[in-house]
Amino acid sequence: MAVPEDIKNIICARFPEGVECAVDSSGSPVFYVAPAAIVEVGAFLSEDAALKFDYLMSLTAVDWPDRFETVYHLYSIAYKHYVTLKVKVGKADPTLPSVYPVWKAADWQEREVYDMFGISFVGHPDLRRILLEPEWEGFPLRKDYVEK
């Protein structure tokens, strides 16, 4: 079983570019991942024998003044350890590759992030609204959203 420092070392060794460590007070490793690398990093974390992050606990987003940030909380059922991935997404074109091919649990979670924040997940098999009516205008969890 890998401890947080081992997890950090494994990930940083495998991805010297496109992944940077972030500070987290919970004791679990947190990494910023380049948007183009999220599927590759996710697949590695899921498939690596020492890590086995086989469970996508949650996928959400945050609306910062200058960007969006998608947040992936991962868990290893076999080893009982956690990691968090964060991806910065520009507001002008909020688009990311879908992690659905890695974790099927991303299906409805990516749809919810799309529905509430307007972040598109390229490669998602059925990206459409999940909580709001299809004709709903805007994305209610954006800070610039104006109720009509």
pLDDT of residue 1: 62
Cβ contact 73:86 at 8 Å: no
Is the model's pLDDT at 41 over the cut of 90?
A: yes
Structure tokens, 106: 């991303």
* Cα 20 from Cα 30, distance rounded (Å): 9
Q: What percent of the chain has pLDDT over 70?
A: 98
In a 13 Å sphere around the CA of 13, the CA atoms on its Cβ side amount to 7
Is the model's pLDDT at 5 over the cut of 90?
A: no
Alpha-carbon distance values, 5 to 12, 55, 85 (Å)? 10, 20, 15
pTM of the complete model: 0.95
pLDDT band at 14, cuts 50/70/90?
A: very high
Cβ contact 110:95 at 8 Å: no
